[in-house]
Structure formats: C-alpha cells, structure tokens
Structure 1
Amino acid sequence: MTPDHRYRTTGGPTAGRPADGPVLAVDQGTSGTKALVVCPERGVIGSAAVPVTPRYGAGGAVEADPAELLASVLDAGRAALADAGEPVRAVGLANQGETVLAWDPATGEPLTDAIVWQDRRSEPLCAELSDHAEELTELTGLPLDPYFAAPKMAWIRRGLTREGVVTTSDSWLVHRLTGAFVTDAATAGRTQLLDLDSVAWSRDALDVFGLADERLPEVVDAAGHFGTTTAFGPEVPLTGLLVDQQAALLAQGAVRPGEAKCTYGTGAFLLAQTGDRPRRSRAGLVSCVAWRLGGEPRYCLDGQVYAAASAVRWLTDLGVISGAADLDRLGSGVPDAGGVSFVPALAGLAAPWWRGDLRGSLTGLGLDTTAGHLVRALCEGIAAQVAEVASAVAADLGGPLTTLRVDGGLTRSALLMQTQADLLQIPVEVSALPDVTALGAAAVARLGLDPELPLEAAVPEWKPSAVYEPRVRPDEAAQRLADFRAAVDGLLEAR
C-alpha cells in the first residue's frame, strides 16, 4: 500500500536505534480487529481489518466467541504483514479492557464465551455488594458497576464455571500468542481489583468480590518483553500491551496533565491526563492508570458514553438510516431536531450518572418528525453526554478544557463533530490519523524494543485533519444542554 506520510513521530528521526524498524500493532476491539504495520519514518505501510460480531441477548447479555476474537487477531495481523511485504521487529497489542472470560491455563482453551464490557448481567451482584461501593471506589478509583471486569469475573465464578482462570481478554490472547500470563497495569486498572496507588492487586477488593483464591496474571508495564510469538510468521517479540482507550490517549499525544481526547467508537470515551498521581474524581468519573512505563505510572480521568456507534447501528437496524454515512446527508436536511429529544442510553447511562439500569428515551415526536430530525436528535444526545463528561472533568481538574482531540469512526460525521463543538463551546480537533488505538499499541511496542527511546519520540506527531469551532452562542449551548439534562432527569425520576 502507499505509505501514510501523515504519520511522523514527534521526536524526529530515530535511525540506528533498536526501535528503528517497523512493528506490527494489533487493536482487538468490540466489533473488529485492526492491524497496522507501522514504520517510524514511512508511516503505516500495511493494514488490515477483520470484523467481530458480538451477540446481544436477554437480560443485558453481550457475548463474543473467543475463537472469533483470536482468529481476528491472527487474520488481521497476517494480512497487514502481507500488505506491508516486509518483516517487523516486534508486536504491540491493544485490547477491549473490561471484556472477560474463563480459560484453561494448561491448554489455553476457553471455558466460557467472552463476556463483553457492555454486558449487564452482573447488576444483581453489584447491588448485593453496594455496601462496599465507597470502599471499592476509594481503593480502585472505579465506581461499582457491571461495566468493569471484576463483577463479570465474579458472575462467571458464581454461575458458569469454577475451573481454570478468569481474566480480561488480553491475558488470554497474550497467552495464546506467547505462553505468558500477564496484563498491563492500565488494563488491570479496569478490573476494579487493582489498588490505584500501589498499582498492585488489592487483597481487599479481591475479598469483596469473592476472588481471593484466583490465580491472577502478573501486572506489567505497557512496554517490555512479554515473550515471543510465531503466530504471524517468523518469531518476533511481543513488546507492547495497552488497553484501548489509554492507547488512543497516548497516540493523540495527550501526555501532559490536562490534555484530553475522546474516541467515538462503539461507545464514546473521554480521557484526560492527570500526571504521576491519581486524582480521585468527585464528579462521577473514573480515576485510573493511563499507562506504566519504566515502573512509573501515569494516571487519567475517564468518562464513558456506552452507546455511540452502537446507537447509530441501532438506528440502522430499525431501517431509519442505512448506516453512519447517512448522518450528515439526512441530518443536514433539517435545521434542528424539530423538538425531538433523544437520550441514547441504550445500554444504560455511565459517567457521571452510573445508572446502568436506565434505558434510552425518545420524546417530542410528532406527525411532522422525519428521519433527519431523529438523526439530529441522536447526534445531540451523543454530544450532550460527552459534554456532561467534559464538565465533570473540568470540575475535577479545577478548570475547563480548552480543546478536545477526537478520533474514531464517528468523527467522519461533520454534523456530530459540529454539534460537539457547539455544546462544548471549545474547538474540537479531529485526528488526521485513523486507527489511533493501534498507533498507541505501536508506540508502546517501540518503547519495549528500546527503553531509552523518549516517549515523545514514539508517538505520532499531532496534526488535526479538521478543527470544528463553536458556531452557536454560549446561551444557546447552555439551553440545549439544560434540555438534555431535563430529559435525563425524567428518566431518573421514572425509575
């Protein structure tokens, strides 16, 4: 393929260093796996994507076939290497974060399906443990919610199997690739079993979830040597591991306190860098490890919107639109949402409300409501939730964000991005580089090859492809957000 010359590392040429050659970066996500072959000088020289199909069921069930997850990693990685037509020095892996499964450590065979991060079946278990909620949040930085891995792990142990080990999906994938039994510190921080201050497994949290006797993976840095693999061809080391949203934060160049990004994928995830000490949120956000390098952790605040692209897919499945490409075409045909209000809480409300029991609402419909009004209302609902997260970040940091860097498939929608800038009242900068999560995995893989490489030299140079400036007055933005909050309040009061 033609090299992507938009990719440049911020630290200039690195010729002659151990990390000089290309690396294979694999991003195993909820709806697919993307693989890139990344060269620090020539950019992306090979790429491939393989879809993954989660299964949705009653009671909030969201599952995936582990065999499909592994096959997607292998197929995407091999295809990207074939596209590049040259060998790589190392492999980096990004993962879904909170998706878990039980598996046999002797054979590597899965013992359960993968329970995807969106799965809500551990809600009764969380309700049972509600007396420990404050303790868990203080210990781990995470609110007690089925979104995180530990409730799912305990749910598996109570209802599915007591055999083998139960871990996040990255540990299983790494074991299948290299035989190692590890997880990076940022992924471990998504379990609600990691002590936020010591960045070690918390005995107290394990006791709360009834997981004290579990064999857990070693918590490692994001960059290192985690074994070797021949899964993609000639033997190469696995040198980079990082959870997906933190990988995107790194690739967006948000490495200094106060810098923030939002990724619009299956959900929307806003992360703000807070530096070398954890800042426990008082505004309903998650405080977690951004990454650990050289034994030194960096932290971030994290806010989640559970349904972004999945809400677009829902509207597509209903036949209202034919896909995300219709957002701008239909939405631009009307001047506003026509009085329609959409709270796209199709998988519950996350930060800052943490009400997974709620479901979405669509109000203000009339005989004159068109598909364009529904599209406008959906974009408004997604953007309003992100704005609420940004407001919580500002409260925790003691000052508002000045810009927001964004990536992900839905950033192709000018309507959504303009709506986001209008509601935030700050510039929204769209990444010029696609697949930033995989680029973050490539960055830590290069750091694993060369521990002396400066962090800034490993990440892509930041250059936006587009900048959306607010086009509405602050009072209009405030009113639109107030209308959205009123719709959310209506849901809260109804339950």
Structure 2
Amino acid sequence: MIRWPKVKCGQLLLRDPHHQRGPRGLSHALGRQLAAAGSGPVLTCALNKQRPAASGTRALLHVHSSPFSTLVKSAARDRIMASSEEVFVGSIDQGTTSSRFLIFDKAGEPVAVHQEEFSQIYPNPGWHEHDPDEIVQSVQNCIEGALKKFEQDGHSKDSIKAIGITNQRETTVVWDNKTGEPLYNAIVWTDTRTAALARELKARPDSDKLTDVCGLPISTYPSVTKLLWLLKNEEKVTKAYEAGTLAFGTIDAWLIYKLNGGPTNNVFVSDPTNASRTMFMDIHKLKYSEQMLDFFSYEFDVRKIHLPEIVPSSDAKAFGKIDSGSLKGWPIMGCLGDQSAALVGQKGFEPGAAKNTYGTGCFLLYNVGEKPVISTHGLLATVAYDFGTPVYALEGSIAVAGSGVKFLMENLGFSHASHKITELAEQVPDNGGLVFVTAFSGLFAPYWIDDAHGTMFGITHHTKRGHIARATLEAVCFQTKAILDAMEKDSGHKLAELKVDGGMSNSALCMQTQADLVRIPIVRPKMRETTALGAGIAAGFAAKVWKSFDELKEINTAGETKFEPAMEEAASKKMFKKWEKAVSMSRGWLAEEEAEAGHKEEAKEISEGAAKNEEASEV
C-alpha cells in the first residue's frame, strides 16, 4: 500500500496512473468512496484542465478538512496515488544502443521520457565501437526532450530534486585530460578484438590469483583488456600516455566528466559498481589494487594513466552538477552500472534476491549481502550497490540476448519489429530440434569460451523461420539456466523466484520457456523501467526523497505477472542436455580463422584447448 502524506489541509495532487478517469472523475471517485465509508464531504476542489500526463490523469485538490486518513485510505482502495507536493527524480539511462532520460515521481512512476538511438560502429568482424561525443550529445538531447514533455504536463523542473545515472558497463573511453577530447572511439563491452591479448594475459605468472582480488576472470569482457589494446595499437593513445595526459574511464566516468563541463571543473569519478568492471579495483576494499596495477603494468605503467576516484553510488556532492542546458546547476547524486541499477530498481535489497535483465545482453545478479563471494563456477563477483555500506552480488553475464533478435532482423531479413519475432516463434509448437548457440562474441558466464562462434545445430528440410526465431529466444533461456545452476552451487541456496525486466521480458513465450527450464516462478513487473528507476533511487536517497528501503516496498508491485513452470521436468532436462552438447560443439572455430590470418601458434593453442575440453565432456 502506498504511504500517504499526513496533512490536514493544503494542496493534494492526485494521479490515476491507469488513465481510467479524468480530473473530475478523480474527485467523484473519492466522494463515492468517502460516502460509502460514511465520512461525509471532506473537501472542496479546484480541478486543473491539463491533458493526461505520461503517468496518468491528474487533479489538483484543495483539501479543507481534518479526517485525512479516511480520505487517503479510500483513495488507496480506489487505486489513486496522492502526494502533498510534487517531488521527482531524473534518471539518465545510457545503454548500448540508445540513451534515455526519464523523470520519476515519488511513487516510482515514470512521468516523462525521451529516447534517442546513436550509431553502432563495426570497423572489423568482432569489433564494436561508439562515438563518445555522440553518446554525450544523445544524453543531452534526451534531457531536453523529456524535460519539455514534463513541463508541458504542468510540472516545474524545480520539483526535480536530483539526477541519477545508469550506464552500459565495461565500455571503455580514453581521452586527453587537458583538452577533454576523446582519443579513440569507445570500445564496447561486447567487443572481442582483445581475445589474443586475453590469452596472453592468462599465460602470465599469477594470473590465476587475480579473480580473488577483483572478482573477474581475464577475458575480452573487462575494461582492462580494451585499455591495454589501445595502448598497444593506437598512436594517439600512446602519445597521451607518454605526455601524462591519458585519462581512462567507463561510460559513467566519461558522462559525469562531460556533463560537469569537462576539464573546466574536472569532476572525474566512478562508483564501485562500474569501477569493479575494470579489473583495477580490489572488490574487498573498493580501492584500486596495487596487485592488479602491478600485474597489468608489464608493458605500460598503468599508474601513469589518470583513473577516476571511486566514490559511493549515492552521494549528494561527489558527482557534481550539470554544467549546461535546461538543467544547468542540477545535482547528480547517484550512479550505478546498468545491471546493479536494475537490481536496485527491482528492490533486491535482501540477500538472496535476484533479477535477470534481458536487454542487448542478459545479466543475472544475485544479492549475496555485505561480503563478496568469489565464484568457483564461472560467475563474476561484483558490487551490487554502495549506499554507504557496500552490498555485493554474484553475476552471470550473457553477451547476446536482444542483439540475437536484432541479428535475425538485420542480417537474416526477418521482420523489422522485434515483437514479430516472438509471434513467428509462437507459430511453431517447439524448436523442431534446432539449437542456436548465439556465440557472436564467444560465450560469457558460466562458460567463458572465447573461441566459440555462433552455430546452429539440427537444421533439416523441415526447419522454418519460426524454428529459428524460437531457438534464438531459447538460447538466452538456456544460458540463464546454466548461470542459475552455477549460482546455486556458489551460494548453496536455491532461488525462490527470479525477477525479470528488459525488452525481451515482454515476450510471454520467452518468459514461460525460462520458467520451464529453471523450475522456479518468473516474476515480471508491470512497469519495466527498473534500470532507470534504480538510478533514480540512488539519487533519491542522497536527496532524501526516500530515507529507507521500507519506503520503497510497495513501489512497482501492482500488475505483476508470474510465470510458473508448465513443462514436465524430464522434457526440460532433455532440452538443456541438448543445449550443453551444442555448446561443446561450438568451440574451436576461431582457431581456423587465426591460422588463416597467420597466427598459427595461437591457433594451435586454441585447437588443443578445444580438443581437451571435448575429451573432458565425453568423459
């Protein structure tokens, strides 16, 4: 139940988020409820004539009576939200394919949003880049667009108390700290150009000791391999390093730096949920690790690179203020990597809570409490959030989720509407024996196979487009099942339920398949902007919009959908066994490519590794 303001008179803003009533209908509904309760008339009202807002119809009521508790309880039964004053938080949601700015009210409802896509740059196979300046511009455009809608709906920007940021993680930006200009495109988290470098690092002495310090294994995924590649291969980056002006950061650090005016104010910070993805941070101390810096300084002294200061995820001053535009002077008070933000937005504050975000990739986070758990089953140890006391999580990362659907649309000529892919998959009763290992960037958790490539198994004369669509959705569900199995082994506990969000969670078929495979309920909220909401919550705590987790308990609970396992367990196990076989067969493809490119020693190493794994799987 919503917590209602305890006032006896004054202005009361009512909203119907379900768009079922006009302004007069709101007051009439209250009157009917109060009359039924025998309370008599308790208010007079002056109704505004504004059009419905994104959050629903609004009516401004002037309350002139004392039995307010009766009023608000009646309003609650009638599903009307109320607040004694307008209080909002803004949220910058900077993702892999688009940027957005959302404005949330205190009840966690989005009242305005603006989204803008930006360029995806693929210079070579396996390479994925973004233009850092274009990202900043897209964010600024989104702020202006959402604010325009917000003010058109009759709100004042003065009621926005703070701004939060959530962002794609691992994506690496390098710039000159004197000019503030980027030195290369941002290398995106999905990029695999560093595969050979990752193998080189794994072969170095003591590489097996790093995960205990930073929580991550060496792979193409963390930011450090991308940074080292830039130092080795890009002259502008090397020159800035030699001049002592090279700055490195993940997208959060870059955005905060630029939104604060760049070198003019030089606000250069990162929160632990992002800093933990670089491999430079000691996950136990939330500080840069001398051991990690030593290990990665074998060719370039990374201590000469300017690294952002690590600050808590929720802080009233550390992130500075926006330096230009309509929200100039507005404080940035929260910052969370996107997957941590989704856990916060799903209110996963208790140990044992878990969420899975089905976006461009797919990311499952499991709250393990105030001490990190270093996985022995292929998962990552990461920071869930730091609101004064750090809370940790186990994470399973899947490189390809929504991007697999996009692949069908853009590369194979399937429908250019993502919901049509689900409709196509629903036209067939099952996958027709087809298994699609969507290893476009290798395989992430819990497998960590860099040399796997996308492969389809089981194609016959009877294979239809619907089977391919279904197998693409199922690939995400299979990998989630593998991650959950690993999490249960690491934690020693079986999850009671899994909360979900992200674009692919809109597919009922996909969510039902997920429930069938993992054998626990899948819970999907009605309002799925949980990642952006999480950043808003981080900022809101610093701004005292909310003061405790208890105040958030009822946020975003109405209209949940629960998917229960429906398939027989034996059939589910059979499907997953076939998937595991397909994964083992997807290995080793990179070896042939590298041999053709002249990297024969590396190719031999990969082939031998694949053969050993094949033998082990047969045993």
Q: 1:72 aligns with which of 133, 138, 144?
A: 138
User: 1:476 aligned to 2:571?
Assistant: yes
Letter in 2 for 1:70: V
Q: 1:149 aligns with which of 212, 219, 223?
A: 223
* Higher mean C-alpha deviation, range 38-47 or range 365-374: 38-47
Equivalence for 1:4: 55
* Higher mean C-alpha deviation, range 445-454 or range 237-246: 445-454
Shift of residue 452, structure 1, vs aligned partner: 7.8
Letter in 2 for 1:145: S
Contact 1:265 1:409 in 2 (8 A): yes
CA offsets, 1:166-224, max 9 Å, x none?
A: 21121111011113110001100011111011110011111222213222111000111
Distance 2:178 2:142 in 1: 26
Closer, same or farther in 2 for the Cα pair 1:451/1:46, shift >3 Å?
A: closer
Shift of residue 442, structure 1, vs aligned partner: 0.4
Contact 1:446 1:458 in 2 (8 A): no
Shift of residue 451, structure 1, vs aligned partner: 9.0
User: 1:214 aligned to 2:305?
Assistant: yes
| 1:292-441 alignment runs, 5 A limit | 292-294=386-388, 296-317=389-410, 318-441=412-535
Shift of residue 231, structure 1, vs aligned partner: 2.9
Shift of residue 3, structure 1, vs aligned partner: 4.3
Closer, same or farther in 2 for the Cα pair 1:42/1:165, shift >3 Å?
A: closer
Equivalence for 1:138: 212
Equivalence for 1:165: 247
User: 1:175 aligned to 2:257?
Assistant: yes
Equivalence for 2:66: none
Contact 2:437 2:586 in 1 (8 A): no
Distance 1:368 1:57 in 2: 36
Distance 1:169 1:350 in 2: 21
Q: Secondary structure at the match of 1:23?
A: strand
User: 1:240 aligned to 2:334?
Assistant: yes
Distance 1:113 1:133 in 2: 28
Q: 1:201 aligns with which of 269, 288, 304?
A: 288
Contact 1:94 1:241 in 2 (8 A): yes
Letter in 1 for 2:472: L
Distance 2:586 2:463 in 1: 22
Q: 2:321 aligns with which of 219, 228, 234?
A: 228
Distance 2:275 2:108 in 1: 33
* Higher mean C-alpha deviation, range 119-128 or range 436-445: 119-128
Letter in 1 for 2:119: T
User: 1:94 aligned to 2:166?
Assistant: yes
TM-score normalized by the length of structure 1: 0.94
Closer, same or farther in 2 for the Cα pair 1:157/1:203, shift >3 Å?
A: same
Shift of residue 237, structure 1, vs aligned partner: 0.7
Letter in 2 for 1:219: I
Contact 1:26 1:73 in 2 (8 A): yes
Shift of residue 321, structure 1, vs aligned partner: 3.5
TM-score normalized by the length of structure 2: 0.76
Letter in 2 for 1:303: G
Q: Secondary structure at the match of 1:235?
A: coil
Equivalence for 1:63: 129
* Higher mean C-alpha deviation, range 38-47 or range 163-172: 38-47
Closer, same or farther in 2 for the Cα pair 1:254/1:135, shift >3 Å?
A: same
Shift of residue 327, structure 1, vs aligned partner: 2.4
Distance 2:291 2:356 in 1: 32
**Aligned residues between the structures:** 487
Letter in 1 for 2:488: A
Equivalence for 2:539: 445
Shift of residue 493, structure 1, vs aligned partner: 6.8
User: 1:281 aligned to 2:347?
Assistant: no
Contact 2:90 2:104 in 1 (8 A): yes
Distance 1:276 1:463 in 2: 30
Equivalence for 2:562: 467
Distance 2:505 2:416 in 1: 18
Contact 2:87 2:545 in 1 (8 A): no
Contact 1:387 1:423 in 2 (8 A): yes
Q: Secondary structure at the match of 1:212?
A: helix
Equivalence for 1:26: 92
Closer, same or farther in 2 for the Cα pair 1:104/1:457, shift >3 Å?
A: farther
Contact 1:90 1:238 in 2 (8 A): yes
CA offsets, 1:434-479, max 9 Å, x none?
A: 2211111100111121298113435734345311111101111111
Shift of residue 227, structure 1, vs aligned partner: 1.1
Letter in 2 for 1:98: E
CA offsets, 1:59-117, max 9 Å, x none?
A: 42100011110011101111111111121222111111101111122232111111110
Closer, same or farther in 2 for the Cα pair 1:188/1:42, shift >3 Å?
A: closer
* Higher mean C-alpha deviation, range 390-399 or range 124-133: 124-133
Letter in 2 for 1:476: A
Closer, same or farther in 2 for the Cα pair 1:482/1:5, shift >3 Å?
A: farther
Letter in 1 for 2:423: R
Unaligned runs of 5+ in 1: none
- Give the fraction of aligned pairs with identical amino acids, expressed as a percent: 33
Distance 2:375 2:92 in 1: 31
Shift of residue 384, structure 1, vs aligned partner: 0.4
Equivalence for 2:583: 488
Q: 2:113 aligns with which of 12, 29, 47?
A: 47
Shift of residue 5, structure 1, vs aligned partner: 6.4
Unaligned runs of 5+ in 2: 1-51, 58-75, 241-245, 590-609, 611-619
CA offsets, 1:395-428, max 9 Å, x none?
A: 1111221211000011111111111111111111
Closer, same or farther in 2 for the Cα pair 1:383/1:56, shift >3 Å?
A: same
Distance 1:421 1:114 in 2: 36
Shift of residue 431, structure 1, vs aligned partner: 1.9
Closer, same or farther in 2 for the Cα pair 1:129/1:106, shift >3 Å?
A: same
Higher normalized contact order (CA 8 Å, seq sep 6+, divided by chain length): 1
Distance 2:494 2:559 in 1: 21
Distance 1:139 1:303 in 2: 18
